[in-house]
């Protein structure tokens, strides 16, 4: 029997009570705004080799898979998304954000393609139902790799995931979450730290699937993102190294909210510029304010993770 690695598994669990979409492409980044819960597939996508089977028989609604109470992992301040997400639920598949979200800058560098296989069924509406990811034509048993560094939030079998089959969900250090569905085998546990490129499972045909493939999703605060906007699936690499997220309020569909924050005026070239961290600020918000990237701020300050503390002095230029 294959032994699931527990090298980096966090051992402490507690039971607790409780329990964007317009894109403007630029040279090296992409803008992600929440408008409503509607997305459109590109009209020129051709039928794929599995399309006839999937499109006519794939009727599972993967949105309605969570029933009952969740199980909240103790959320330590060094864990991915600590200042962004409101919980780390290892049972409830889809994260539901409550309230509003601030503007943020997502560092996409460090990406590793799950495996070098192309799309067989794309993101968008399929027979009046939303397909919130892409399907990659993986042969069964093919190793599936983590896209970015992060911690496994969900690792569940076919009985508890609806149409996903064997499913792994990873919350990444950059604030994104990725889903890996229809696996034949899961090789990681909830709470396990993974690096980009680590093998987290094997491709398969479990759940509501009619041919071996990997269902791959990218989400931010529970909102699905068309992976084609970020990733070049023909060449197996990123299209951009940065993604800017406009702030939004869940209850208000119009993302064009007035703001009192004024962009910081740049200082003359070559002059170091510093920022004192205020309560609730994130690296992404600071990066956007100074028109830089999270990766540059981390490099300037020799930061290994995304955790910053109130009162900390950061060099931003």
Residues 166 and 184: beta-carbon distance below 8 Å? yes
Give the span between the Cα atoms of 206 and 213, in whole angstroms: 9
- The answer to whether residue 196 sits within a structural domain is yes
pLDDT greater than 70 at residue 88: yes
Q: How many domains is the chain partitioned into structurally?
A: 2
Instruction: Give the model's confidence band at 256: pLDDT under 50 very low, under 70 low, under 90 confident, else very high.
Output: very low
Is the same domain home to 52 and 147?
yes
pLDDT greater than 80 at residue 152: yes
Is the same domain home to 242 and 278?
no
**And the tokens for 129?**
């139902």
Task: Using the CB atoms, write b or e for 140-178: b if 16+ within 10 Å.
Answer: bebebbbbbbbbbbbbbebeebbbbbbbbbbbbbbbbbb
Domain carrying residue 44: 22-248
- The answer to whether residue 48 sits within a structural domain is yes
- The answer to whether residue 258 sits within a structural domain is no
pLDDT at residue 114 in the model: 93
With a CB cutoff of 8 Å and minimum separation 6, the contacts of 149 are 110, 172, 173, 194, 195, 196
Instruction: Give the model's confidence band at 62: pLDDT under 50 very low, under 70 low, under 90 confident, else very high.
Output: low
Partners of 314 in the β-ladder: 275
Is the same domain home to 202 and 310?
no
Residue 64 or residue 45, greater confidence: 64
Residues 233 and 134: beta-carbon distance below 8 Å? yes
| Share above pLDDT 90 across residues of the chain, in percent, rounded to a whole number | 31
Residue 207 or residue 13, greater confidence: 207
Is the same domain home to 286 and 217?
no
Is the same domain home to 199 and 300?
no
Give the span between the Cα atoms of 147 and 155, in whole angstroms: 16
pLDDT at residue 248 in the model: 60
Is the same domain home to 177 and 293?
no
Note the pTM of the prediction, 2 decimals. 0.63
Q: What is the 3-state secondary structure (H, E, C) of the chain?
A: CCCCCCCCECCCCCCCCCCCEEEEECCCEEEEECCCCCCCCCCCCCCCCCHHHHHHHCCCCCCCCCCCCCCECCCCCCCCCCCCCCCCECCCCCCCCCCEECCEEEECCCCCCCCCCCEEECCEEECCEEECCEEECCCCCCEEECCCCEEEEEEECHHHCHHHCEEEEEEECCCEEEEEEEECEECCCCCEEECCCCEEEECECCCCCCCCEEEEEEEECCEEECHHHCEECCCCEECCCEEEECCEECCECCCCCCCCCCCCCCCCCCCCCEEECCCCCCHHHHHHHCCCCHHHHHHHHCCCCCCCCCCCEEECC
Report CA-CA distances (Å) from 186 to 22, 50, 67, 143, 172. 34, 24, 22, 10, 18
- The answer to whether residue 113 sits within a structural domain is yes
Residues 67 and 92: beta-carbon distance below 8 Å? no
Q: Which of 233, 248, 263 is the last residue of a domain?
A: 248
Is the same domain home to 280 and 242?
no
| CATH code, domain carrying 299 | 3.10.350.10
Which among 120, 74, 101 is positioned nearest to 288, based on CA atoms? Answer: 101
Is the same domain home to 289 and 234?
no
pLDDT at residue 69 in the model: 58
Residues 231 and 122: beta-carbon distance below 8 Å? no
pLDDT greater than 60 at residue 39: no
Is the same domain home to 147 and 280?
no
| CATH code, domain carrying 185 | 2.70.70.10
Is the same domain home to 163 and 44?
yes
Q: How confident is the model over 198-246, as pLDDT tens digits?
A: 999 999 999 888 889 999 999 999 888 899 989 999 999 998 888 888 7
Question: Which residue carries 């968008």 as its tokens?
Answer: 124
Is the same domain home to 105 and 170?
yes
Residues 186 and 166: beta-carbon distance below 8 Å? yes
Is the same domain home to 30 and 133?
yes
Q: Flag the least confident range among 20-24, 134-138, 247-251.
A: 20-24
pLDDT greater than 90 at residue 73: no
Average pLDDT of the chain is 74
Q: Flag the least confident range among 3-7, 130-134, 196-200, 297-301.
A: 3-7
């Amino acid at each position: 029997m294959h032994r699931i690695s527990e090298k980096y598994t966090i051992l402490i669990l507690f039971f607790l009570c409780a329990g964007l979409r317009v894109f403007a492409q630029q040279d090296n980044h992409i803008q992600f705004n929440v408008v409503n819960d509607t997305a459109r597939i590109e009209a020129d996508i051709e039928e794929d080799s599995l399309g006839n089977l999937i499109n006519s028989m794939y009727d599972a609604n993967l949105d309605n898979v969570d029933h009952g109470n969740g199980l909240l992992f103790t959320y330590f301040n060094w864990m991915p998304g600590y200042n962004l997400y409101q919980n780390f639920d290892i049972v409830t598949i889809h994260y539901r954000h409550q309230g509003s979200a601030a503007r943020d800058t997502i560092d996409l560098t460090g990406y590793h393609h799950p495996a070098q296989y192309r799309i067989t069924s794309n993101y968008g509406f399929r027979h009046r139902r939303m397909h919130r990811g892409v399907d990659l034509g993986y042969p069964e048993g093919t190793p599936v790799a983590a896209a970015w560094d992060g911690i496994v939030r969900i690792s569940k079998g076919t009985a508890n995931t609806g149409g996903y089959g064997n499913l792994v969900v990873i919350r990444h250090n950059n604030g994104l979450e990725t889903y890996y569905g229809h696996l034949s085998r899961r090789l990681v546990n909830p709470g396990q730290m993974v690096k980009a490129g680590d093998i987290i499972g094997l491709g398969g045909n479990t759940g509501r699937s009619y041919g071996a493939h990997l269902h791959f999703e990218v989400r931010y605060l529970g909102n699905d993102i068309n992976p084609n906007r970020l990733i070049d699936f023909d060449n197996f690499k990123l299209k951009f190294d940065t993604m800017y997220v406009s702030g939004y309020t869940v209850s208000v569909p119009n993302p064009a909210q007035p703001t009192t924050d004024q962009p910081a005026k740049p200082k003359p070239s070559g002059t170091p510029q510093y920022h004192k961290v205020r309560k609730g600020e994130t690296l992404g918000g600071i990066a956007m304010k100074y028109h830089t990237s999270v990766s540059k701020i981390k490099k300037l300050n020799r930061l290994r993770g995304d955790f910053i503390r109130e009162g900390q002095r950061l060099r931003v230029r």
